[in-house]
Structure 1
Amino acid sequence: MLNIRKQLSRLYLSSIISNLTITGAWLAILASRGFSLVEIGITETIFHIVSIIFEIPSGVMADVFGRKKMLIVSNIMLTISTVTMIMSNSFFMVCLSISFNALSYNFSSGTGDALAYDSMKKGRIAGKFEKYESNQLIIYRVFSGISTLCAGFALAIGYRLAYATDLIACAAQFFILSTLTEVNLKETRHNKSTLAKIRDCFRESFLFLKDARKAMGLMLCNSFVGAVDILLLFFLQAKLTEKGIPNRWLGPALLFMELGGVVGSKLILKLPKLSYKTVFAFTAALVLAGIGLEHAESCLIMAMGGFIAAVGDDALQVRTNAKLQKMFPSGQRATLTSVESLSFSLIMIVLSPLAGYLLPAGNNKRALSDGQGSFLTK
């Protein structure tokens, strides 16, 4: 029997644990171990390559074998990644750890949302999914922001002990995920082989996307705005230090910018009747304004630009995800949500090097030394 309140509470708690980590500043941790900027850049590339390859297959597996099971697989992949990083004594092992981390991201990406929406649909409260999505983005912004403040602590205790704390979180996460209830709104394909089920899921998802141009348009618009905001916040780490912000204020400044997403997530709930075109135009304008303020001379104004861009990004994210979940067929929900994540990764690969031209190479070391950094994922 599905208890919708407990189901959503456990999904929220799972998100809190996954975003609250002292090893989020992986870039700074690798730098402190003596890895070069080139090597660190390669690990970032490996993360995105693995993500692109396995994004859609992981979504298909979630739709075919169950969303709860794939969330647990995600947790297992993260545990393997963490153990590998603790044992790593070479660049190869670091890359192997990053690859398992990417797989963990793939198996969880979109799967939680798919499980939440179908749970709410079964509980006849699907209309409240936009609020659920808003709450999830708030959790992401607040707790990932808090995690950036722990970067110095992770460097102080050493990478092995820092990653050991992640193992405790993985164990807690495993317990929470095991208590979730699987939801199947449409019982089909029981008499088919596993291969046939996977083939059908791929085919039905392709046919949906072929005819649903509006859904593809929503995915691309949201992914583009989100990619620009993520890159802006990432490069502001170095830009702020370039402008002379004291080290002790960099963490709070980054947390302040992340909190812009909290404002955006709440603000969009107050405007339920605003058309999507209007929402997109307004949020895109906020992100562009953030880019403009990035070039200001004042650190305060630059941080305000990051805050404003985050407002626009998360407001659009909440509205887009709510619209897409209403459009997606239940049997392919995780697969189609993975398509959106794939579009984001592809746009990131194109925009990341272009954005890099805005940041002089010499300033990257300053950003590393301040102990900030995160995977460029959303």
Structure 2
Amino acid sequence: MKRYGRNIGLNYLYVSLGSMNLTHGLWMIYLASRGFNLVQLGILEGIYHITSFLMEVPTGVVADLWGRKVSRIAGRIVSVASLAIMFYARSFPLQAIAFVATALGNNLESGAGDALVYDSLLLDGREHKYMKVAGKQELVYQATLIVSFALGGYLALRSYAAVFGLSMGFFTAAAVCAFLFREPHIERNEAFGRHGGLLGKIGNSMRMQLVESLAIMRKRGRIAFFIVFSELLFCLITVQFFYLQNHWIALGWTEFDIGLVFAANAVVAGITAVKAAKIEQRIGERGVLTFMPLLMLFCLWGVATTPFGQVFFILVGCVEGILITAVGTYINRLIPSAQRATILSFQSMAFSLFMIVVFPAVGAIGEAWSIPTAFVVMAVAASLLCIPYLLVVKPYSIKE
């Protein structure tokens, strides 16, 4: 009996609504038009990732202890508030608050969503279907990005109020959709939080959940390896994505032109995500862990040193689509249900840590010299990091 089967179909709708953020490819352009320079934008992004770094694990614990459904609902509500502040705020401190709220909204979603889907399949005895489900979910996400990039770019030429207003409407609809999920029943340690007052019980529950999750990660070293590997690549992709916006605007591109390139990137990512299971069967886990970083490195150099940056950025979608689906499956196979959202939050925390360092550094280089120079520095750094990575990947690419 598929007790949680409806969660899978409903999740596709939720992902579509929750991903219709029309500001995703435009917020840097919007804030730059309001007088914020590259250094300030880099600091704001740093604030976002510092908040995300500090709150990822606590929000993951919340999702494990009190429900993935509750966490997703709260995340979308906070995201609506963050967009409202970002649109109306004209001062740097208020924008900082907006980015803190944005991080919290995403924290409450990250980990909780994948955990809800994987455990829904697990409890119905269909966990072997996860890579295919994750691939379809990524296709839905990327298809939504295509629409949001194109629609956002079109509306931005006319009214940023429409861009932000529609985004808030979609997030509100996603929160309503989340109420329809059926919370997976997970066996938890009932000894958590039995002693002390309310705050003491909550604190003890969160502490024990964190201790157990860390113990699992120490025992299963491949979890940490997969997390560091994937999030470092996603960091490079994300930094490139954001700074390309300002770079292409400086070259005379319109928001709509940029949206079309981002949409093409999403198409490629969606196609490879759906095919990830078949690709992984052909080249194996070791092939995914070896070939994808090299392809990413090739694309970084292509963006930095050739006049065909848009073509190489579209190819980045190949890396993103495969890794999101394949590595996510590898990690979920290693995690017990009771600690799933907490450990998946460590994945997002690693991403935030990398972004805290890389994003403002690239912004500072771009402000002092130029954005193309910053891209070259990023490609050089990635090349140097690739050498030790390839030396250590072999022990972790063997099936346990």
TM range (shorter): 0.7 to 0.9
Asked whether the equivalents of residues 56 and 335 of structure 1 are also in contact (C-alpha less than 8 Å), the reply is yes
The reply on whether 1:232 has 2:240 as its aligned counterpart is yes
Q: Per-residue CA shift, 1:250-296, capped at 9, x if unaligned?
A: 33222222322123213322134343222111111111111122145
- Residue 337 of structure 1: CA displacement? 0.1
Question: Does residue 136 of structure 2 align to residue 135 of structure 1?
Answer: yes
Partner SS, residue 275 of structure 2: helix
Pairs within 5 Å for 1:106-121:
106-121=107-122
Aligned length: 363
Indicate if the aligned counterparts of 2:68 and 2:113 stay in contact, CA closer than 8 A: yes
Instruction: Check if 1:292 corresponds to 2:301.
Output: yes
Residues in 2 aligned to 1:189 and 1:201: alpha-carbon distance in whole angstroms = 11
Bigger shift: residues 242-251 or 327-336: 242-251
Q: Which amino acid aligns with 2:222?
A: K
Whole-angstrom distance in 1 between the partners of 2:88 and 2:178:
26
CA distance 1:232–1:94, shift in 2 (3 Å): closer
Does 1:352 pair with 2:359?
yes
Q: Is the 8 A contact 1:16 1:140 kept in 2?
A: yes
* Equivalent residue letter for 2:212: E
* Structure 1 residues 37 and 360: alpha-carbon distance in aligned structure 2, compared to 1, 3 A threshold: closer
**Closer/same/farther in 2, CA of residues 64 and 85 from structure 1, 3 Å limit:** same
Task: Look up the match of 2:385.
Answer: none
Whether 2:284 is the aligned partner of 1:275: answer yes
Give me the identity figure in percent.
24
**8 Å CA contact 1:118, 1:183 repeated in 2:** yes
State the alpha-carbon separation in 2 of the partners of residues 205 and 102 from structure 1: 22
Describe the superposition over 1:59-103 as per-residue Cα deviations: whole angstroms up to 9, x where unpaired. 011111111111111122113223434553533222212211110
Q: Any conservation in 2 of the 1:229–1:310 contact (CA below 8 Å)? A: no
1:373 is matched with which residue? none
1:8-66 C-alpha deviation (Å, 9 max, x unpaired)? 12111111112113222211222233333333333212111111110110001111111
| Residue 353 of structure 1: how far off its partner (Å) | 4.4
Partner of 2:347: 340
Question: How far apart in 1 are the matches of 2:169 and 2:232?
Answer: 35
Q: Spell out the pairing of 1:172-211 with structure 2 (5 A cutoff).
A: 172-189=173-190, 192=194, 193-211=201-219
Pair 219,102 (structure 1): closer, same or farther in 2 beyond 3 Å:
same
Matched, 1:4 2:4: yes
Conservation of the 8 A alpha-carbon contact between 1:145 and 1:258:
yes
- Is 1:32 aligned with 2:40? no
Q: Tell me, in whole angstroms, the C-alpha distance in 1 between the residues paired with 2:38 and 2:248.
A: 19
Shift of 1:354: 4.9
Per the TM alignment, residue 248 of structure 1 is displaced from its structure 2 partner at its CA by 5.4
* Residue type of the alignment partner of 1:66: G
- The answer (yes or no) to whether the contact 1:72–1:177 under 8 Å persists in 2 is yes
Contact kept, 8 Å, 2:46 with 2:359, in 1: the verdict is: no
CA distance in 2, matches of 1:67, 1:247: 36
Distance 1:357 1:10 in 2: 43
1:190–1:11: structure 2 CA closer, same or farther, 3 Å change rule?
farther
Question: What's the counterpart of residue 259 of structure 1?
Answer: 267
Structure 2: segments with no counterpart, 5+ residues? 195-200, 372-400
Distance of aligned partners of 1:190 and 1:127 in 2 relative to their CA distance in 1, 3 Å threshold? same
Note if contact 2:46-2:355 (Cα within 8 Å) is conserved in structure 1. Answer: no
Q: Deviations over 1:320-367 (max 9, x none)?
A: 110111111111100000001111111222333454577565766xxx
What is the aligned counterpart of 2:316 among 288, 309, 325?
309
Deviation at 1:200, TM superposition (A): 1.5
Q: For each residue in 1:205-258, what CA deviation from the matched residue of structure 2 results, as whole angstroms up to 9, or x when unmatched?
A: 111112211111111111122222223333444555566667753332222223
Instruction: Name the amino acid aligned to 2:277.
Output: L
1:5 aligned partner, one-letter code = G
Question: 2-side partners of 1:52 and 1:109: how far apart?
Answer: 12
Structure 2 residue corresponding to 1:219, chosen from 197, 220, 227? 227
The alpha-carbon deviation at position 113 of structure 1 amounts to 0.2
- What letter corresponds to residue 318 of structure 1 in structure 2? T
Q: Find the counterpart in structure 2 of residue 374 from structure 1.
A: none
Residue identity in the other structure for 1:334: A
Residue in 1 aligned with 2:21?
Answer: 21
Paired with 2:250 and 2:161, the residues of 1 have a C-alpha distance of: 31
Compute the RMSD of aligned alpha carbons.
2.7
State how far apart, in whole Å, the 2-side matches of 1:172 and 1:245 are.
33
4+ runs deviating over 6 angstroms: none
What SS is found at the alignment partner of 1:271? helix
What is the one-letter code of the residue matched to 1:313? Answer: E
Aligned to 2:197: none
Question: Counterparts of 1:28 and 1:237 in 2: how far apart (Å)?
Answer: 7
Amino acid at match of 2:210: F
Q: TM-score, normalised by structure 1?
A: 0.86
Q: Deviations over 1:124-180 (max 9, x none)?
A: 111111112212222332322332223444435544443232332233112100111
- Indicate the residue corresponding to 2:60 in structure 1: 59
Amino acid at match of 2:6: K
